[in-house]
Structure 1
Amino acid sequence: MGTCIAKSFTAEGRTSLVQYACLTSFQWLICLALVVLGVVSMSRGASSDALTIIGLIGLAYLLVSLPTMWNATIRRLHDISSSGGSVAVFVLHAIFAVGTVTSWRFQGDGALTIALTCFAAGTLLWALFIIRDLWTLGCGVENDYGLPPSENEETPEGVRTLFKYIRVGIISLLSIWGLLMVVGTVCGYFVKGKKASPTEYPVERHSRYIPDNELETALREVNKTCPQKYGPITYEKAELSREERILQYNYTVDLGGELDIQKFKTALKWELTSMVEQMKRDPKTLAFLNVLLRNNFGIRARYVIKPSNEIVQDELSAREIRQILDK
């Protein structure tokens, strides 16, 4: 392993399987130690700052050790008379894997997600052949990349057998990972939206026909306790505008002329957002929001200010409501 560290910044020459195995094992032990440290810290109620420090230590170690692993991998490929440029496939796999996760996280196009997953699985398949080569003993003669490391000739038969089992194990685990990645993405694409959790909502419809038994029933539930008076504010009955595709909440505010209209207008959008966030926490009101979003309806708050009868209103579109629910 010392030879690999000494040659951290050079890709010339060859690295034996014994040296590469020692270096790889050391790297995995460090990663495992950091993971165990993080899990133990979480189980003992460590602060987020402590977990962040552990994560930063792991990231720093990864950045420091990356040149060593990268060049050692290239030299290991040289030892089996293979070009070091093949390691680029690991970068491609990482890019496609991150793209797949990002697409799922931000609810991207399903076809794009499947395409990214297929590319990630394809590069992983390519990487399997390279991993197979990485864990294959090198030739004991000189090749285009230089003289063979002395370990190639001194490797006992038992160690050679161990390397074979390690190679089979790594390839098997990565093959299962690639298969699960593809099957999981495809199944998720077809199942997505069919089973909605309490905080999810179906895809919006753009049909002109809106079933009365859905929206009207929900509206009657909203208006069941209206009008209600809370101090200077009176909650009037809500209305549905099918032309504007909006649910309008009506309020009357009577403060005897003491209300600052401009400040009230400024705060209204924030009040609407807060109202949707509160509705999100209640299963009954969340179900009502789902009804609106299924039909692509937004929400409007309309205030009549007494005694001037000035009207102040603001609204949230269906898209803005979705953004609030997704937070």
Structure 2
Amino acid sequence: MGVDKQKADHLAKEVGAKGEFKRQSNRFTAPFAAEAGKYRLIVGKLCPWAHRQLIVREVLGLEDAISVGVVDPIRGERSWEFNLDEGGVDPVLGIHELREAYLAADPDFDGRPTVPAVIDIESGKVVNNDYHELSHYWETTWRPFHAEGAPDLYPERLRAEMDELADFIFHNINNGVYKCGFARTQEAYEEAYHVLFSALDAIEERLGSRRFLLGDRITDVDVRLFVTLVRFDAAYHGAFHCNRQRLTEFPNLWGYARDLYQTKGFGSTTDFDHIKRHYYSIPVVRSQFGITPVGPDESGWLTPHGREALSRTPEKIYYDFKD
């Protein structure tokens, strides 16, 4: 069976009765103990869910506590592959396909092996692939390993509000772009399209009076929104037909996204090359000739954003610091 046929078959398993995209559930969701050096975080720089983990890991200073492996931005026939490493093998886990770690944990696993995935280095087994909660583990359970002076991205006093907003962002924006791109009927696509842009309009209005989603400080929910915004013009606008307007045409969202991009951990973990190469390789959207777009111009991300005027705090880096 060809590579494209394999990929298309995986996607076909996640289609509802009306042709709408229904993302598969995460298989490994149990909490795991915080122990420096025990795990390897496998990511794809293309993936918004994995990108969230890279941002939080760098912001909190967890680089020495948990190592990172990076898969090829173009998915292989059966799984994500470690083609970027010498010999096509992850140097720590000794595997070529991420699928091997999933099968080590569950020999009957027949879903899509996804990133991010936390792998127990000694056993080679996936212990967690729950992208919904994974960043919360780094922010809470892994606090003993945070760098001195690391911020609190998930402050307890704000968690109820954060969780509600994160749920809205995930269903309507983060996953909303996929519902547009992977829809199999016009009806499903148009429904997802209108939900997506209605949600973006609501966030655009919210950001008109505050610097970040919850005020003057960056929190986990900003990380969750950023990873979709940073991919919007480079991938979702074209590849996923999310084309009512570009991110750069939302004054508040564009300024907000640049503000975050220019902050520690955000721009440094963004790889536009991997993003574009991946999204324009997906069988349902790929150009007949496999062409990856050159644009948009990335230099705009470093232009002044002027968002400081909305903040009441004078610090250069805007986080909610621990007590």
Which TM-score band applies after superposition, normalised by the shorter structure?
A: under 0.3
Normalising by structure 2, we get a TM-score of: 0.21
Query: Based on CA coordinates, which of the two structures has the bigger radius of gyration?
Result: 1
Higher relative contact order (CA 8 A, sep 6+): 2
Normalising by structure 1, we get a TM-score of: 0.21
Q: Which one has a larger percent strand, Structure 1 or Structure 2?
A: 1
